[in-house]
Amino acid sequence: MHRVLSWLLAALIAVATPAFAADLDPLVRALGTGTYADTEKALAKLAETGDTAAVPVIEALQTGDLHVRKADGAVVVARKAGNGVALTDPLTGAALGEADRSAVEKIKINNSLRRSISAALGALTLMSPNPQTRRQAADAVFKSRDVNALEALDTALAKETDEGVRRAMFQARAAVVLNSSAPDADKIAAVETLKARGDRDALALLNAAANSGGAEVKAVAERAIASVEQRLALWGAAQNLWYGLSLGSVLLLAAIGLAVTFGVMGVINMAHGEMVMIGAYATFLVQEVFRTFAPGLFDLSILVALPVAFLASGAVGVAIERSVIRWLYGRPLETLLATWGLSLALQQAVRSIFGPTNREVGAPSWMSGAFELGGLTITYGRLWIVVFAFLVFAALLVALRKTAFGLNIRAVTQNRSMASAMGIRTARVDALTFGLGSGIAGLAGVALSQIDNVSPNLGQGYIIDSFMVVVFGGVGNLWGTLVGALALGSVNKFLEPYAGAVLGKILVLIFIILFIQRRPRGLFALKGRAVEA
């Protein structure tokens, strides 16, 4: 990656400054003549120009791709292509056609030359006008810990103005210093610099320093190691917490619709997973429409998919409630069987329409990529899902607590006949409540289409987890579902490093089975006579 980047950069610069390229040409040509010492001299001159256009040439030399064309003595880059080699100009990168392998001769390098090459490369890239290149160069030095680069680093540091690059250079310098025979005082300063850096690379360097340096360096390094390890453990925990939060929000999304249908209405909907699946396929369809008619607006497709998925899953939910579930109220186990049957039929329907294979659902640009937060790496996709899960949760909470519809739902679930007597159309409320739960499952499908395979089996993967979350949190309690989802997500992720993903999951299942024995009504259960009835 780094090399490709510097190639591109170099190519750009080469195009922008043809005059320099012309000046470099004889110096490059000199690389191919004479002994190792001659090559080294030519290299030194090339480095002295301070022209970053020379970087790809030197890199090619380093990797052994730089050759002399026997016919005219021109220095070219030759890379294997088919039976022969493909030639390119080392400075401009322009293609020079193909040739037989015997038509070129490799410019050989020895160890002394190899060191000079690193130094020259370091010096050149550290001086690059582009701060990103300079930073990469500094990072490269940090990794190589090449003592030869020290001088170049110091020169570059003296000129460096960018704060970030400066820090990277300082750290690189510290790494080099620890690797050199510098006096202890310098090494101790270097240890401090690395301690401030505090990541796993720094830890490796500090360990090396602790094992090789003098007594004083050793003591300082060990203290630094302890401090870095502690810091890393904290970041590790934070990363696990984030993964847990991320998994928890996925569980929350999958379970929250169930918290309505199962938790509030007491309906066991085994086809809940298929509602999620329908949401995911709705996303796929919306994206197809965007791809066909408005590819430029693709980034908005997810936003359009949200209401579409909600309505699609919600409509299927209402249809299921009206046609099947309403005949089975008060018979939970039979509801379980009937909805399981529906889930089989829905899966097969989707399989017949869309085929059994995974469907491609793309991520909008604002959901791709990642950023770093201290020692954490956070992908935008996951971040949005966490945010989305909490938004859906909050919206549902408000809908149930603050709206007239929510009041009706609570009235009907708490005392059906009384609600009916008050003029609430209970059948309608049942259908709409079930539709709401299913619609939320559809919303979950939109989010899950971003992180999971969109296939007819999508829902199957979530149904057991969702029930676990709702039962663990306490049926009929939305906050319980929230806490349940986050707790199970975190426990899962904290177990994973020790037990592995599968065993971790098994342990969580066993934990829940045992937990339900202790508290059959979940974490936040209502107590009292009402629930006994």
Partner 1 sequence: MSAEDTLLYLDGVSVSFDGFRALNSLSLIIEPGEMRAIIGPNGAGKTTMMDVITGKTRPDTGTILFEGGTDLTALREAGIANLGIGRKFQRPTVFEMHTVWDNLELALKAPRRPLKTLTYSATRDDRARIEEILDITGLSPKRDRQAGSLSHGEKQWLEIGMLLAQDPKLLLVDEPVAGMTDAETEQTARLLKDIAGKHSVIVVEHDMAFVRELGVKVTVLHEGSVLAEGSLDAVSANQQVVDVYLGR
Partner 2 sequence: MLTRFLLMGLDKKAGVLLAVLAVLAVAVPVMALAAPPDSPWHLSTHTVALLGKYLCFALLAVALDLVWGYVGILSLGHAAFFALGGYAMGMYLMRQIGPRGVYGHPVLPDFMVFLNWQELPWYWHGFDQFWFAALMVVAVPGVLAFAFGWFAFRSRVTGVYLSIITQALTFALMLAFFRNDMGFGGNNGLTDFKTILGFDIQAPETRVGLFVATVVALAAGYTLASCVVASKLGKVLVAVRDAESRVRFLGYETERYKLFAWTLSACMAGVAGALYVPQVGIINPSEFSAASSIEAVIWVAVGGRGTLAGAVLGAVLVNFGKSYFTAALPELWLFALGGLFVLVTLFLPKGLLGLAAQVKGRWPSGRAMAAKPAGQKGI
Binding site for partner 2 (CB under 8 A): 268, 324, 327-328, 330-338, 340-349, 352, 464, 467-468, 471, 502-503, 505-506, 509-510, 512-514, 516-518, 520
Q: Which is nearer to partner 1, 5 or 526 (CB)?
A: 526
CA pair distance 277, 218, nearest whole angstrom: 58
CA pair distance 76, 113, nearest whole angstrom: 19
334 binds, among partner 1, partner 2, none (CB under 5 to 8 A by kind): partner 2
348 binds, among partner 2, partner 1, none (CB under 5 to 8 A by kind): partner 2
Smallest gap from Cβ 530 to partner 1, in A, equals: 8
In terms of Cβ atoms closer than 10 Å to its own Cβ (0-12, 13-18, 19+), residue 247 is buried
Q: Are 485 and 473 in contact (CB under 8 A)?
A: yes
CA pair distance 37, 512, nearest whole angstrom: 72
- Among 141-149, 193-201, 301-309, 523-531, the segment contacting partner 1 (CB under 8 A): 523-531
Q: Which is nearer to partner 2, 45 or 326 (CB)?
A: 326
216 conformational bin, left if phi > 0, alpha if psi -120 to 50, beta if neither: alpha
Nearest Cα neighbor of 162 from 132, 198, 195, 184 is 132
Q: Which helix (H) or strand (E) holds 84?
A: strand 84-88
- Among 3-11, 204-212, 488-496, 524-532, the segment contacting partner 1 (CB under 8 A): 524-532
526 binds, among partner 1, partner 2, none (CB under 5 to 8 A by kind): partner 1
CA pair distance 253, 44, nearest whole angstrom: 62
Q: What angle do CA 452, 355, 278 make, to 5 degrees?
A: 50
Nearest Cα neighbor of 441 from 349, 313, 315, 350 is 313
Smallest gap from Cβ 528 to partner 1, in A, equals: 3
510 binds, among partner 2, partner 1, none (CB under 5 to 8 A by kind): partner 2
Q: Can you tell me whether residue 267 is helix, strand or coil?
A: coil
Cα atoms found within 13 Å of the Cα of residue 407, Cβ hemisphere only: 5
327 binds, among partner 2, partner 1, none (CB under 5 to 8 A by kind): partner 2
Smallest gap from Cβ 334 to partner 2, in A, equals: 4
Q: Are 123 and 155 in contact (CB under 8 A)?
A: yes
Q: Which is nearer to partner 2, 113 or 516 (CB)?
A: 516
527 binds, among partner 2, partner 1, none (CB under 5 to 8 A by kind): partner 1
Smallest gap from Cβ 527 to partner 1, in A, equals: 6
Q: What is the CA radius of gyration of the chain?
A: 32
CA pair distance 179, 195, nearest whole angstrom: 16
Smallest gap from Cβ 276 to partner 2, in A, equals: 16
CA pair distance 474, 403, nearest whole angstrom: 23
Smallest gap from Cβ 531 to partner 1, in A, equals: 10
Inter-CA distances, 485 with 449, 489, 505, Å: 19, 6, 14
Q: Is 528 in the site for partner 1 (CB under 8 A)?
A: yes
Q: Which is nearer to partner 2, 307 or 461 (CB)?
A: 461
Q: Is 423 in the site for partner 1 (CB under 8 A)?
A: no
Q: Can you tell me whether residue 177 is helix, strand or coil?
A: helix
CA pair distance 271, 458, nearest whole angstrom: 12
Q: Are 62 and 77 in contact (CB under 8 A)?
A: no
Smallest gap from Cβ 526 to partner 1, in A, equals: 7
* Dihedral of alpha carbons 250, 253, 254, 258, sign: positive
Side chain identity at residue 115, one-letter code: R
Q: Which is nearer to partner 2, 15 or 506 (CB)?
A: 506
Nearest Cα neighbor of 306 from 287, 333, 334, 325 is 287
Size of the residue set binding partner 1 (CB under 8 A): 4
Q: Which is nearer to partner 1, 518 or 527 (CB)?
A: 527
Residue corresponding to tokens 């880059």: 77
Q: Is 527 in the site for partner 1 (CB under 8 A)?
A: yes
Which DSSP letter does residue 50 get? T
Q: Which is nearer to partner 2, 260 or 471 (CB)?
A: 471
Q: Is 518 in the site for partner 1 (CB under 8 A)?
A: no
341 binds, among partner 2, partner 1, none (CB under 5 to 8 A by kind): partner 2
Smallest gap from Cβ 343 to partner 2, in A, equals: 7
Smallest gap from Cβ 339 to partner 2, in A, equals: 8
- Among 72-80, 257-265, 421-429, 525-533, the segment contacting partner 1 (CB under 8 A): 525-533
529 binds, among partner 2, partner 1, none (CB under 5 to 8 A by kind): partner 1
Smallest gap from Cβ 480 to partner 1, in A, equals: 16
Q: Which residues bind partner 1 (CB under 8 A)?
A: 526-529
